[in-house]
Structure 1
Amino acid sequence: MAGRRTDTRERIQRVAMELFAERGYDKTTLQEVAERLEITRPALYYHFRTKEEILTSIADGFISSLDELGEWARAQPDTFEARQEILRRIAGLLEDKWRPLMRFAQMNQGAFAETSVGDRMQERIISLLSALSRPGGDVVVQFEARLAVFALILGSVPEVFGMDLPPAELASAAMTVAVRLVADHEPSGQ
Structure 2
Amino acid sequence: MFLPEINARKTAARFLMVLILCSISCKKKEGEHKHDTSIMSDSLSLVQMIAIREKAMIKRDIKLAMDQFADNATWINSQGYYFEGKEHVANFHNMLIGNDSLDYYYEAGEPRVRILDNRNALAYYSWKMFWYKREKPADTTFREIGLMTLTAHKTNKDWEWVAVTNQHTPWFYDSITPVTVD
TM-score normalized by the length of structure 1: 0.26
Task: Give the structure with the higher percent strand.
Answer: 2
Higher helix share: 1
Structure number with bigger Rg = 2
When normalised by structure 2's length, the TM-score is: 0.27
